[in-house]
Amino acid sequence: MESAECSYEGCHNKRSHLKTGLCKPHRRVQLQEGQLRPLRPRSRLQSPVCTGPECSRLSESHDLCKEHDSQRRRGIPLHVIGGPARSEAQKQRWAGMTDEAKAAWSARVLAGIPAERTEQHIQRLSAANRAAWRAKLIGTERPCRTCGTGFVLDDLKRWYCSKRCQRLYVQVRRHGLTVEEFRALLEAQNSLCAICRGPWRGWNGQNPHIDHCHKTGRVRGLLCASCNSALGRFGDDPVLLRRAAAYLEGSAI
């Protein structure tokens, strides 16, 4: 009875090409390289432990751990993780931190929680550590990027205490302002519109509109939705606005 295995010596894969008697991988090698050779192993991991210098971590790619594999991909010589170069960089970063930042960092280290890990950072970790990091972060308190109010973290991608703060942060960043500059501008106007001196009225009734020059992009102030829309309808032209004011004053009874 004719064998159903690949005709290449030492290969026990199922034969798929009738004319040559080869399996699919060997047939692909024959077409691409012009000659047959033994197939490479499917798994790149030959050692369960990292083969980097003085490292006993589990290997994840090319027989290296995540840190040593990052060194390989960057084309730098493999060196000990946490060596003198890294220690010196950590000392310089620690020297540049304020006392409040040092205290907050120490508290996080004692609690076993890193500074800030997003979902993208966690995806780079090994599968064994992802669940552990998520379990450490879910349920902890994270400050809102806009108002600074702390909220209980229920989603690693969440950075705002409410949808209002999220929309406001996007609006502030779109005009090239920082949250601190926006708060200073809001405090200078006493949280009132710069034209009508009233609360934030209009279609949203919550967040102010950041008025800016459409030619230079310079931020002029904070307006309510009605005043901002009115300026836009006059094309931001002071002559038309003065003419409209004179018309209203002249036609008054």
Q: What is the mean pLDDT of the chain?
A: 79
Residue 146 lies in a domain: no
pLDDT tens digits, one per residue of 142-184: 888 887 788 888 777 788 888 888 888 888 888 888 888 888 8
Residue 93 lies in a domain: no
The pTM score is: 0.42
DSSP 3-state of 155: coil
Q: State both tokens at 77.
A: 């010589």
CATH number at residue 227: 3.40.1800.10
pLDDT at 121 over 70: no
DSSP 3-state of 203: coil
Residue 134 lies in a domain: no
Query: Strands 150-152 and 141-143: what pairing?
Result: antiparallel
| Residue 75 region by backbone torsions, left for phi larger than 0, else alpha for psi between -120 and 50, else beta | left
pLDDT tens digits, one per residue of 186-196: 888 888 888 88
| Structural domain span for residue 223 | 178-250
Q: In 130-170, which ranges are E strands?
A: 141-143, 150-152
Residue 213 lies in a domain: yes
pLDDT tens digits, one per residue of 30-58: 888 888 888 876 555 667 888 888 888 88
| Residue 141: partners with Cβ closer than 8 Å, 6 or more residues away | 150, 151, 152, 153
pLDDT at 85 over 80: no
Residue 150 lies in a domain: no
| Residue 112 region by backbone torsions, left for phi larger than 0, else alpha for psi between -120 and 50, else beta | left
Q: Radius of gyration of the chain from Cα atoms? A: 32
More confident residue, 214 or 240: 240
Answer yes or no: are the C-beta atoms of 78 and 68 closer than 8 Å: yes
Residue 209: CB atoms within 10 Å: 21
Q: How many domains does the chain have?
A: 2
Lowest mean pLDDT among 3-17, 18-32, 104-118: 104-118
Residue 119 lies in a domain: no
Residue 163 lies in a domain: no
Residue 171 lies in a domain: no
Lowest mean pLDDT among 69-73, 78-82, 233-237: 78-82
Torsion of CA 133, 135, 136, 140, to 10 degrees: 130
Q: Quote the pLDDT of residue 1.
A: 45
**Separation between Cα atoms, residue 79 and residue 20, nearest integer Å:** 48
Residue 241: CB atoms within 10 Å: 14
**Separation between Cα atoms, residue 200 and residue 147, nearest integer Å:** 18
More confident residue, 71 or 81: 71
CA distances in angstroms from 27 to 5, 31, 37, listed in the order given: 13, 6, 11
